[in-house]
Amino acid sequence: MHRWIMVSLCGIACVLGMGFLFAEVQRHSSETKQEAAAPALPDAPLNAQAAEAVYKQSCIACHGNDLEGKMGPNLQKVGGKLSTEQLYKVIQNGRGGMPAFKSSLKDEDIANVARWLAEKK
C-alpha cells in the first residue's frame, strides 16, 4: 500500500514538473518574440544631461541616487555586462521586476539612457 502511495506522489510530482517546464519554455519564447519585435535603437548622439534627467525622473527610486541599486540592481558597471542595444531592450520591454518604459518614455529618451548606462563600466 505504501508503495502505491509513493508511486502516485512521484507521478504527480513528475506531471507538475513537466507543467512548470512547459510554462517556462513558453514564457521564454514569448519574451524572445517580444525582444525580436522591438524596434532598433534610434540613431541619436548621447546627451548625458538629458539621460540623467530621465534617470532621476523614472529610475532613481529603484536604482538609487548613484546607480548603487535599491529594489533594482546596481547599475554602476552595467555597461561592462550589457551592450547599448541590450540596455535599450531591457528599458523598453522591462525584465524581471522592472516595468517596461516603452509606453511612458520616448524611444529617443530610452536610447539616450541606454547609451549613458552603456558608458558605466
State residue 98 phi and psi, 5-degree precision: -80, 130
Asked whether residue 71 is marked as a ligand-binding residue, the answer is: no
Known binding residue 28? Answer is no
> What are the residues whose beta carbons fall under 8 Å from the beta carbon of 121, sequence distance 6 or more?
77, 79, 80
Q: Is 59 annotated for ligand binding? A: yes
How far, in Å, CA of 55 to CA of 79, rounded? 15
Residue 112 DSSP one-character state: H
**Is 63 annotated as ligand-binding?**
yes
Are the CB atoms for 79 and 85 separated by under 8 Å?
A: no
* Among 31, 84, 87, CA closest to 63: 87
What are the binding residues? 59, 62-63, 98
What are the binding residues for heme c? 59, 62-63, 98
